[in-house]
Copies of this chain bind each other. A is one copy, B any other.
Amino acid sequence: MAIKVHGNPFSPPVQRVFLTLVEKDLDYEFVFVDLSIRQHKKEPYLLMNPFGQVPSFEDGDLTLFESRAITRYIAYAYADKGTPLIDQDPKKFAIISVWLEVESLKFDAAGQKLSFELVIKPLLGLTTDESAVEPLQGQLALVLDVYEARLSESKYLGGDSFTLADLHHVPIVNNLMKTKVKALFDARPHVSAWASDILARPTWAKVLASIKR
């Protein structure tokens, strides 16, 4: 098979790549990387990703890392397949790009740390640092205030349809909805409706089913 994803299925960035591939109706091979024996911090894995993080990705002779670069490549290279996740029009694509940056630099900056403290640490038998949770919730609330305003005038972040800008949020939103952080979403009607919508995609159900196997 031409496309391979290397990583751990519980990693949100790995799930982000899975979801993109399923939206694009592309087959792929999953290559498990055992984080518990620090396989990602040793060769040969480091030859694919010098930062020693998951995921890494192969498509024939192309090797990539950084989940958001991988998803952009898939959306761009396979533009004609499955869900159109970007827009060929430069101005429409630019609006999507703005919200891609916001996800990465604003939402995820707080969201992935909350997901780590409240979901991943308990899974690994580690203790949540409650003193870190409160300021992160405050930080996320400010981001969600901007989202509430944006989503009151636009069904999705990038425009009228679901794009990569929404997709990039799915794994972390999915984790946060199982925690007390859900209250921050529930308090904002447009954010709450958007979160329900993007989590209800049949493609995401497929990803979750594949992870459980």
CB contacts (< 8 Å) of A95 on chain B: these are: 62, 64
Q: With A104-B104, A146-B51 as given contacts, are A98 and B69 in contact (CB-CB < 8 Å)?
A: yes
Q: With A50-B149, A66-B105, A149-B50 as given contacts, are A76 and B93 in contact (CB-CB < 8 Å)?
A: yes
A94 interface neighbour in B64, B91, B149, Cβ under 8 Å:
B64
Q: Encode A102-135 as 1/0 by CB contact (under 8 A) with B.
A: 1011100000000000000000000000000000
Known interface pairs A50-B149, A73-B97; 11 further A-B residue pairs with C-beta atoms within 8 A, sorted by A's residue number: A51-B146, A62-B95, A66-B98, A66-B101, A68-B97, A69-B97, A69-B98, A72-B94, A73-B91, A73-B94, A76-B94
Residues of A at under 8 Å CB distance from B?
50-51, 59, 62, 64-66, 68-70, 72-73, 76-77, 90-91, 93-95, 97-98, 100-102, 104-106, 146, 149-150
